[in-house]
């Protein structure tokens, strides 16, 4: 530690991210100020109690943020002296040590040679004559030939979208953003599952619209709770993920889908259906959008099969919203990338995308079997729910998600930050574990066994000791 100490006992972060749990927002602000040089090496940070009082948050929240910053090599405590920013060399060394961590916090497809398939198609494109055309401006909705292939890919019993109603997006998150813009008035509330997709919470914070929780059961949204929420709030828009819901991995039965669609029609709701994981289910359940097509926007994403950076998604809209959808694309991105859409269309035509989807589903099933075997005594009885590449681990009463997050982090295992999915006053009685990514199966098994070992040996966490 450097001895040229600077006192920043009055340090205050510029802003805390309202979309993140308070301790993670504070950690992010601390990291940013260190990175930007506003907190040089050797700077003494405020005591936990002082910073908590200045920010209006609890001492335990500050303690958690400081503890995690210490684990990342940003800061270090000296007995009787305080907490100090570490020199860059020490931070770099810690960062190098953490590159070997196992990340179970990001929902990525298992690696099944997706990049090899992309390289082969790119080689053909470079040698062909079509490449120049793919850099020309096209319609906001996307190239018709690409939309036709995407429509063919999305077809399943009970849902056969017309190519003219397909809008290509820059991934599903872009599609969600477009759907909210199209359907919601400024500041209007949206109904969501009580544990909802992290990306939708971030969008709510960014666009300043409230989200209202709807209670769930083992199949996801409860129809009675949806009816009550609509009656109490007057909300007109529902966002839901009926297949392999994130974070809980729950999937609606056919009967449940009929009940939810009936409420959508009866209550004249607009439905945003996020269906990015349905390709993982062997017998793909009919989407809600097929049951109420005039009231639904259906979203899919090909990044969930290929790679996170392959930002191509699809939005299927009712005819009444098509013009508005085209305008929304123009307002947010002007158009989408024809080059990526051409790669996708060629994968669909050749059957390569189906081959990759089957391989991803097979590998995901094997990884989910590992999860069920290791945590079998912690899971509810098997109910024939389909499995994807994220799973929900219920926690015993003596544990809370924050304690597990830190214990796992100290062992080099990153899990989804607690509090990321909860809406309103909902608590998270478990954690989402992401089983995909480039981690191989043996490495995943070791990580899951370590988490089980942690749960078998609960400790009483100490406050603020770094």
End position of a domain, from candidates 66, 99, 132: 99
Cα distance between residue 236 and residue 172, in whole Å: 21
Q: Is 280 in the same domain as 399?
A: no
Measured distance between the N- and C-terminal CA atoms of the chain, rounded to whole angstroms: 15
Q: Is 93 in the same domain as 121?
A: no
- In a domain, residue 462? The reply is no
Q: Determine the pLDDT at residue 454.
A: 93
List the CATH number of the domain containing 13: 1.10.10.10
Least confident of 40-49, 63-72, 442-451: 63-72
Q: Is 331 in the same domain as 231?
A: yes
Beta strand 82-85 pairing with 75-78: antiparallel
Count of domains forming the chain: 3
- In a domain, residue 301? The reply is yes
How many percent of the chain have pLDDT more than 90? 53
Q: Is 190 in the same domain as 288?
A: yes
List the CATH number of the domain containing 283: 3.40.640.10
- In a domain, residue 466? The reply is no
End position of a domain, from candidates 321, 353, 385: 353
Cα distance between residue 195 and residue 207, in whole Å: 19
Q: Is 122 in the same domain as 85?
A: no
Peptide bond into 247 cis (omega under 30): yes
Q: Is 377 in the same domain as 446?
A: yes
With a cut of 90, say whether residue 188 has pLDDT above it: yes
Q: Is 277 in the same domain as 404?
A: no
Residue 422 domain boundaries: 355-456
Q: Is 247 in the same domain as 341?
A: yes
**Per-residue pLDDT tens digits for 263-296:** 999 999 999 999 999 999 988 889 999 999 999 9
- In a domain, residue 465? The reply is no
Q: Is 194 in the same domain as 338?
A: yes
**Per-residue pLDDT tens digits for 297-328:** 999 999 999 988 899 999 999 999 999 999 99
Q: Is 169 in the same domain as 315?
A: yes
Q: Is 307 in the same domain as 417?
A: no
- Of 56-60, 100-104, 363-367, which has the strongest mean pLDDT? 363-367
Q: Is 316 in the same domain as 235?
A: yes
**Per-residue pLDDT tens digits for 128-143:** 777 777 877 667 788 9
- Of 125-129, 375-379, 462-466, which has the strongest mean pLDDT? 375-379
List the CATH number of the domain containing 425: 3.90.1150.10
Angle (CA) 12-16-22 rounded to 5° is 105
- In a domain, residue 107? The reply is no
With a cut of 50, say whether residue 462 has pLDDT above it: no
């Amino acid at each position: 530690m450097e001895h040229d100490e600077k006192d920043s006992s009055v340090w205050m972060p510029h802003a805390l991210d309202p979309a993140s749990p308070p301790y993670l927002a504070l950690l992010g602000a601390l990291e940013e100020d260190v990175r930007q040089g506003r907190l040089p090496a050797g700077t003494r940070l405020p005591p936990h109690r002082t910073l908590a009082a200045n920010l209006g948050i609890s001492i335990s929240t500050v303690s958690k943020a400081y503890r995690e910053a210490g684990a990342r090599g940003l800061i270090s405590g000296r007995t009787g002296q305080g907490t100090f920013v570490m020199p860059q060399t020490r931070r770099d060394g810690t960062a190098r040590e953490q590159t070997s961590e196992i990340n179970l916090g990001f929902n990525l497809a298992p690696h099944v040679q997706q990049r090899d398939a992309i390289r082969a198609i790119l080689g053909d494109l470079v040698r062909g004559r079509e490449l120049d055309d793919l850099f020309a401006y096209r319609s906001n909705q996307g190239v018709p030939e690409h939309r036709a292939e995407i429509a063919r890919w999305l077809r399943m019993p009970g849902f056969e979208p017309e190519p003219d109603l397909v809008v290509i997006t820059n991934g599903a998150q872009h599609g969600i953003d477009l759907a909210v813009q199209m359907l919601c008035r400024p500041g209007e509330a949206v109904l969501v599952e009580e544990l909802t997709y992290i990306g939708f919470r971030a969008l709510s914070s960014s666009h300043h619209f409230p989200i209202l929780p709807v209670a769930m059961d083992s199949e996801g949204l409860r129809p009675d709770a949806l009816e009550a929420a609509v009656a109490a709030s007057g909300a007109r828009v529902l966002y839901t993920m009926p297949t392999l819901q994130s974070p809980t991995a729950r999937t609606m039965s056919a009967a449940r889908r009929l009940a939810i669609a009936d409420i959508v029609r009866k209550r004249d709701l607009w439905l945003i259906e996020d269906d990015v994981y349905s390709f993982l289910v062997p017998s793909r359940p009919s989407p809600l959008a097929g049951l109420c097509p005039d009231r639904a926007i259906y979203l899919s994403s090909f990044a969930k099969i290929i790679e996170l950076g392959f930002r191509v998604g699809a939005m299927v809209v009712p005819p009444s919203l098509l013009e508005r959808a085209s305008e929304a694309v123009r307002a947010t991105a002007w158009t989408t990338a024809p080059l990526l859409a051409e790669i996708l269309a060629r994968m669909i035509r050749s059957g390569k995308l189906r081959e990759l989807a089957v391989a991803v589903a097979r590998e995901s099933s094997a990884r989910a079997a590992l999860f069920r075997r290791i945590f079998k005594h912690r899971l509810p009885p098997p109910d024939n729910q389909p499995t994807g590449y994220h799973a929900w681990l219920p926690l015993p009463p003596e544990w809370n998600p924050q304690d597990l997050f830190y214990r796992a982090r100290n062992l080099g295992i990153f899990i989804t930050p607690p509090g990321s999915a909860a809406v309103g006053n909902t608590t998270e009685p478990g954690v989402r574990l992401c089983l995909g990514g480039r981690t191989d199966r043996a490495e995943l098994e070791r990580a899951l066994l370590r988490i089980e070992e942690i749960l078998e040996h609960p400790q009483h966490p100490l406050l603020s000791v770094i």
